[in-house]
Every structure is written in C-alpha cells, then in structure tokens.
Amino acid sequence: MGSTEAAVRLVAASLYENEFGIDYSRSVKDLMNASDNGSVLAQVALAYCYENGIGTEVSKPETLQYYRMAAQRGSQYAYRELQRLYDEIRPADPEFSMN
C-alpha cells in the first residue's frame, strides 16, 4: 500500500532468512536507499548484511558504522550488537574489563 517502512521490513525479513544461493545485492541497494532516507531498521539490516556477507562483502567497518548510526538514533538492538562486537575484540586483560 505504499509504506516505505513496510517494504524495508519485508526486505529485512528476507535477509534474516538468508536462503543459500539467492542474490541479495538488490535488497542491499534498497536498504541503502531507505537508510539514506532515515530508516533505522534499514541501518540495522545493513549492519547485519555487512557482518555476515549477505549481498555484500564482509566489512567490519561498515558493520560498525551502520550499527553505530542506528544506536545513536535509539536502537537498543544496535547498541547491544555494538557491545557484542567490541567485546569480541577487547583484550581479556583485567585492565580492559568493562565490569
């Protein structure tokens, strides 16, 4: 019915299913367009794509960029994903512990 955010939700849902052998490059382009137009969900979905190489090459910098943009706009999921990613690379030394 013309809802841009509904279209983003459908694209994101198809990406999270991630069926083997499907080319998602068009979906990624649609998400980039929606992200440029302010969709937080598109930013989260793009981060997921870059993290897992769905329709794109795997790219940690792009993953972090999109999760950060979404987290700054209030996405708790994106914030938790940023924490997870940073926890993965943080040294185990007590000096770097966040507790």
Handedness of CA 80, 91, 54, 68 (dihedral sign): positive
Please list the pLDDT of the chain residue by residue as tens digits (99 residues): 667 888 888 888 888 776 666 778 888 999 999 999 999 999 999 999 999 998 899 999 999 999 999 999 999 999 999 999 998 888 777 776 665
Q: How much is the pTM?
A: 0.82
Closest CA to 47 of 14, 94, 89, 15: 15
Q: Report the number of distinct structural domains present in the chain.
A: 1
Helix (H) / strand (E) element for 52: namely helix 40-52
**What is the domain extent for residue 72?**
4-96
